[in-house]
Structure 1
């Protein structure tokens, strides 16, 4: 991320040069995985249980949870065995079954989509028994190949928050890659917001506590757009270029909204404007926005907010554990 110093400003200029992106993807823009996951056709054709399996395209996470609750243990594990790619990515499926379905992708993997640059959600801590849940939503240039950084942040946050808190490193949307118009527009954030809202609905359907969302850089744009559709307890904008809202009340959420920005973060040089769909609006740390601003004076760089020993990680851990 350090190589992206002032990249949003550059992206705005790039977008103006290549033309408006408001009507769709620009040339060279990233594309979110489209169409059904591999294995969906076989899943929908499976009549072994004597009833239709829930269609991932139309079933809500609550529908999915109710369906799995009505199965025997043997039937649930049969679906894991026969359709791991579907079960492992289906919001509303019990956590232990998703772990089992995604076991080839790693330990405690809650979702895994190998298409394109790849999407993955990995858990630090005991999610099934957690009293508190946090979700880290990363920014640009994060995918399966670079997800270890977000997983490390999740591990550090979970350790600081304590054993009764689980933290999910949610690389669950297609992030902007490199310098380009995607950084300056909300196109990928809109798609990511839909996925994030459904993911948090799935946590709720699985009986887990309402999460705290920690939204880094472009991830805070995702969280801003997802805010009305999620039951998040807290939303924390970290090194944010804006949340596509002028103030907290415009986010349409009952969550407590927090914000942190280091004086040494290059994001401070990004213009907080939104013009014709370019830019992401007000600075969440500005007085007029209305968020609770956290001390970030000891954070040395844009990617260092989750570093052990910083004031921000200490505050994040208190928020995640429900102590703030």
Structure 2
């Protein structure tokens, strides 16, 4: 090993040690308690779906059938048969990548109504612990809000901290599509919070949809378990490794039903998910913003045909995180580093870690050009 290699390895070791020290110092006493258990596997209700013979044939297994196979299966059904499956198995159909998009909307309305009814009953059940009843009240309110007119819910799973995907625009008629993948501290209850609007996937998606003038349908996707705070989950790829296959299936499901290849926008830890999913993502563009790294040293390591873009403003605190990957800590090269090879998105007018989609910023203008196919 040459002197240069030893120096580079030494710098990476020091940086990794600094990252470890920062995390331990900043999270001692609570980090281990805030580690998340990732939600994996097929949708809720899969067991009853697997044993259903109402159509005289075995239904495609949500755990093993590809989105393309599921799309083909539904194309072979009549409208009443499709509707019947949505009524019998709303939690499966509503989360089934490859199922027709309008059918998923229909199924998720049914799943939300069922979840709301159950949650309200639990909230009033005095035999349950107060904490359980309080959680049920919150879930009931969340379901009621998502059932309000105008919402297009493409995925809904109340298990754990909850997962959801909401569509802005019409995926069937829009000329283009985009998907927003969030970073830490996002779940069913916080994906559209009013505070720090442009730091939420719903706020990002709505801003992009409005800026694109309706040409692009945008999905706010919260389909993986995100880290909470700056503990070990944020410094390692464990949750990203669980989330990447889910993102890949979701996007494959969109394209299997006729949606054009989307541009995927990955914020913060979401860019780690996107980096790991990249080889399996049928997308036109992969855009990372405020990224701690993509678990890759350069664009070529992502093994994607998509154009790769990166944005980071000077005031984003993520620039102070060591961009290394060593002994499982850190996420690799800074995607905005010229050596990485991504196309640079201007972000001089963005502010902080969550300001990239704010109206009037050069970053939002560039994102709009990417999402509408106007950027070269």
The yes-or-no answer on 1:152 pairing with 2:203 is yes
- In structure 1, distance between residues paired with 2:372 and 2:365: 11
Aligned residue among 113, 118, 134 for 2:157: 113
Aligned residue among 33, 43, 47 for 2:49: 43
Residue 188 of structure 1: aligned partner: 239
Please, what TM-score do these two structures have when normalized by structure 2? 0.79
Residue 219 of structure 1: aligned partner: 270
Residue 20 of structure 2: aligned partner: 12
Deviations 1:35-77 (A, max 9, x none): 5433212211211111111111111101110110001111000
Question: CA-atom RMSD, angstroms?
Answer: 1.9
Could you say what secondary structure the match of 2:21 adopts? helix
- How many residue pairs get aligned? The number is 310
Please, what TM-score do these two structures have when normalized by structure 1? 0.92
Residue 100 of structure 2: aligned partner: 94
Deviations 1:254-301 (A, max 9, x none): 110000000010011111111111000101011111111111111111
Aligned residue among 60, 80, 84 for 1:74: 80
Residue 320 of structure 1: aligned partner: 371
- In structure 2, distance between residues paired with 1:158 and 1:282: 30
- In structure 2, distance between residues paired with 1:293 and 1:163: 25
Higher alpha-carbon Rg: 2
- In structure 2, distance between residues paired with 1:91 and 1:130: 19
- In structure 2, distance between residues paired with 1:147 and 1:167: 14
Contact 1:124-1:167 at 8 Å conserved across structures = yes
- In structure 2, distance between residues paired with 1:36 and 1:286: 38
The yes-or-no answer on 1:277 pairing with 2:328 is yes
Residue 127 of structure 1: aligned partner: 171
Residue 289 of structure 1: aligned partner: 340
- In structure 1, distance between residues paired with 2:78 and 2:346: 50
Structure 1: unaligned runs, 5 residues or longer: 1-7, 18-25
Residue 225 of structure 2: aligned partner: 174
CA-CA distance at 1:239 after TM superposition: 0.5
Structure 2: unaligned runs, 5 residues or longer: 1-15, 26-31, 113-142, 193-199
- In structure 2, distance between residues paired with 1:302 and 1:247: 23
- In structure 2, distance between residues paired with 1:271 and 1:135: 28
Structure having the higher helix fraction is 2
Q: CA, structure 1 residues 230+68, in 2 after alignment: closer, same or farther (shift >3 Å)?
A: same
